[in-house]
Amino acid sequence: MANGWSLLVSVIFIAAFCAVAWFASPKGENQTVWRSTLILSAWSCWLMWAITFLAQWHPLIQPQRGDLRPEYNGGPVKGESFF
């Protein structure tokens, strides 16, 4: 579902969002505020997401637990998710 290409896709998505935000911002004296806020928010959020994604892309350590019961095998959500 998610691999290295996600980074590229997300950059394109954010760039597209910024372009839309730039042109679709309501005209008037608050246009600058709209543009700056939307675009800066988009890149801040993307940066944070990208860092989180990169950190887990090639993880160096695996989760370890000593308090699981064998019945838990597979976990409460096996394979499938909410979505």
Contacting residues toward another protein, per CB under 8 A? 1-4, 6, 29-33, 36-37, 40-41, 44-45, 47-49, 51-70, 72-77, 79-83
Q: Cβ 83 to another protein, closest distance in Å?
A: 7
CA dihedral 43, 44, 47, 52 (to 10 degrees): -140
CB 17, CB 42: distance < 8 Å = yes
Residue 16 CB, shortest distance to another protein, in Å, is: 19
DSSP string, 10-24: HHHHHHHHHHHHHHH
Between 20 and 54, whose beta carbon lies closer to another protein? 54
Nearer to another protein, 20 or 56 (CB): 56
